[in-house]
Structure 1
Amino acid sequence: MARPRQFDAEVAVDRAMEVFWRKGYAATTPQDLVDALGIGKGSLYNAFGSKRELFERALRRYRDSQTVALVESLERPGPVKERLRSTLLALVEMDLGDPDRRGCMAANTATELAGVDEEATELVRRMIDRTEGAFQALIEEGQRAGEIDPGRDAAALGSLLMNIAVGMRVLGRVAEGPERLLRVIDATIDTL
Structure 2
Amino acid sequence: MARPRKFDEERAVEAAMRAFWAAGYEATSTEDLCRATGLGRSSIYNTFKSKHDLFEKALRHYISVKNAQLFERLESGAPVRETIRGMFDGIIAEEVEDGLGCLVVNTMIELAPRDPAIAEELRRDYERRLVALRDVFAAAQRAGEIGGDRDPTALAHFVISTVSGMRTAARAGGGKDALEGIADSAMNAL
| TM-score for both structures, normalised by structure 2 | 0.94
Give the distance between the partners of 2:130 and 2:170, measured in 1 at CA.
20
Identify which of 113, 116, 122 aligns with 1:115: 113
Give the distance between the partners of 1:2 and 1:183, measured in 2 at CA.
56
Q: Does 1:182 align with 2:180?
A: yes
Give the distance between the partners of 1:188 and 1:162, measured in 2 at CA.
11
Alignment length (residue pairs): 190
The CA RMSD over aligned residues, in Å, is 1.4
CA shift for structure 1 position 176: 5.0
Q: C-alpha deviations, 1:91-118, integer Å up to 9, x for none?
A: 11011111xx211101110100122111
Give the distance between the partners of 2:17 and 2:4, measured in 1 at CA.
24
- Superposed, which structure 2 residues align to 1:41-80 within 5 Å? 41-80=41-80
Code of the aligned partner of 1:170: T
> SS of 2:146's equivalent?
coil
Give the distance between the partners of 2:5 and 2:17, measured in 1 at CA.
20
Q: What is the aligned partner in structure 1 of residue 159 from structure 2?
A: 161
Give the distance between the partners of 1:65 and 1:96, measured in 2 at CA.
20
Q: What is the aligned partner in structure 1 of residue 146 from structure 2?
A: 148
> SS of 2:113's equivalent?
coil
| TM-score for both structures, normalised by structure 1 | 0.93
Q: C-alpha deviations, 1:52-92, integer Å up to 9, x for none?
A: 10000001000110122122212212111011101110011
List alignment gaps of at least 5 residues for structure 2.
Answer: none
Give the distance between the partners of 1:121 and 1:9, measured in 2 at CA.
25
Q: What is the aligned partner in structure 1 of residue 22 from structure 2?
A: 22
Give the distance between the partners of 1:181 and 1:115, measured in 2 at CA.
27
Compared with structure 1, are the counterparts of its residues 176 and 157 closer, same or farther at alpha carbon in structure 2 (3 Å cutoff)? closer
> SS of 2:136's equivalent?
helix
Instruction: Verify the 8 A CA contact 1:71 1:134 in the aligned structure 2.
Output: yes
Of 45-54 and 165-174, more deviation after overlay is shown by 165-174
State percent identity of aligned pairs: 40
Give the distance between the partners of 2:81 and 2:136, measured in 1 at CA.
9
Of 136-145 and 24-33, more deviation after overlay is shown by 136-145
Code of the aligned partner of 1:155: T
> SS of 1:18's equivalent?
helix
Instruction: Verify the 8 A CA contact 1:74 1:87 in the aligned structure 2.
Output: no
CA shift for structure 1 position 164: 0.6
Of 130-139 and 53-62, more deviation after overlay is shown by 130-139
> SS of 1:115's equivalent?
helix
Give the distance between the partners of 2:71 and 2:119, measured in 1 at CA.
20
Q: What is the aligned partner in structure 1 of residue 100 from structure 2?
A: 102
> SS of 2:175's equivalent?
coil
> SS of 2:63's equivalent?
helix
Give the distance between the partners of 1:3 and 1:68, measured in 2 at CA.
34
